A and B are shown apart, each in its own frame.
Chain A
Amino acid sequence: EDQVTQSPEALRLQEGESSSLNCSYTVSGLRGLFWYRQDPGKGPEFLFTLYSAGEEKEKERLKATLTKKESFLHITAPKPEDSATYLCAVQGSGAGSYQLTFGKGTKLSVIP
């Protein structure tokens, strides 16, 4: 059974204070690890897909990295508009291989 654990549950940062969110996972044959952003009252919005250990992807102040056991979402010099809940999900290659398993998310608050 695929599992995803995100930490911390909540993170408060001052504007400009860089940090990282963690996503630990177990999966049978990784097809993809996904990061989504979710604003209050809205649906998740796709950010990145990572496919193999060592891979990195960047978008503005966000950088996602992947190892064989975990992924990090690094946030550099965050701004208040980066406040959101960030979701991590994995897709394995076992039975039901289209299915994504989601973590509970990390709620990020960036204080001006």
Chain B
Amino acid sequence: NAGVTQTPKFQVLKTGQSMTLQCAQDMNHEYMSWYRQDPGMGLRLIHYSVGAGITDQGEVPNGYNVSRSTTEDFPLRLLSAAPSQTSVYFCASSRMPGGGANVLTFGAGSRLTVL
């Protein structure tokens, strides 16, 4: 049981380049989300999905796109990278809480540097 798998672990981009961070989970979780973690700040929600074909914005969605074509995968796309997007990105998933507590399982993270 791999849990939540993120690739790549490290990536360096130049300003204006595009790329996709991959996230896959094998727990049949309906809820998936992307967070970014910056020094001196808490984890901030970028986008989330409550099921295949359904996505919504979180606290800091600008500059990022997501899609959810399958239950297992939730890729995060940077269309035109900016230095402000230098961060560590975490994918997290959970069973749909159905009105209860949303206990998240996190991936190991992807460290992105934009020059």
Residues of A within 8 A of B42 (CB): 4, 87, 101-105
One of A36-44, A59-67, A70-78 contacting the partner: A36-44
A58 adjacent to chain B (CB < 8 Å):
no
Question: Is A46 a contact partner of B101 (Cβ separation < 8 A)?
Answer: no
Q: Scoring A residues 93 to 106 as 1 if CB is less than 8 Å from chain B, else 0, what string do you get?
A: 00011111111110
Total A-B residue pairs with C-beta atoms closer than 8 Å?
A: 68
B101 touches A49 (CB 8 A): yes
Given A31-B101, A43-B108, A46-B105, A98–B50 Cβ distance below 8 Å? yes
- Decide if B103 touches A42 in the complex (CB within 8 Å): no
Measured between beta carbons, the chain B residues less than 8 angstroms from A43 are: 4, 90, 92, 106-109
- Highest count of chain A CB atoms <10 Å: which of B92, B101, B108: B101
- Rounded to whole angstroms, the CA-CA distance of A97 and B35 in the bound complex is 16
Please measure, in the bound complex, the distance between the C-alpha atom of A72 and the C-alpha atom of B104, giving whole angstroms. Answer: 20
A44 with B102, Cβ < 8 A, contacts A98-B48, A98-B97, A105-B42 known: no
Q: Are A99 and B48 in contact (CB under 8 A)?
A: yes
Please state if A104 and B58 are interface contacts (CB–CB under 8 Å).
Answer: no
Chain A residues bordering chain B, tally (CB within 8 A): 26
Question: Counting chain B CB atoms within 10 Å of each CB, which of A44, A46, A51, A98 scores highest?
Answer: A98
Given contacts A87-B42, A103-B42, contact A45 B101 (CB under 8 A): no
Bound complex: CA of A102 vs CA of B100, how far in Å?
18
A-B contact pairs, 16 of them (CB 8 A): A31-B97, A32-B103, A42-B109, A43-B108, A43-B109, A44-B90, A49-B103, A98-B97, A99-B45, A100-B43, A101-B42, A102-B42, A102-B44, A104-B40, A104-B42, A105-B42
Of all A-B residue pairs in the complex, the 5 with the closest CB atoms, nearest first, are A32-B101, A43-B106, A102-B42, A102-B43, A44-B106
Using CB atoms and an 8 Å cutoff, list the residues of chain B in contact with chain A: 4, 31, 35, 40-45, 48, 50, 56, 58-59, 90, 92, 97, 99-109
Interface residues of A (CB under 8 A from B): 4, 31-32, 34, 36, 41-46, 49, 51, 87, 89, 91, 96-105
* New A-B contacts (13) at CB < 8 Å, excluding given A32-B101, A32-B103, A91-B102: A31-B102, A43-B109, A46-B104, A49-B101, A89-B43, A98-B97, A99-B45, A99-B48, A99-B58, A102-B42, A102-B44, A104-B41, A105-B42
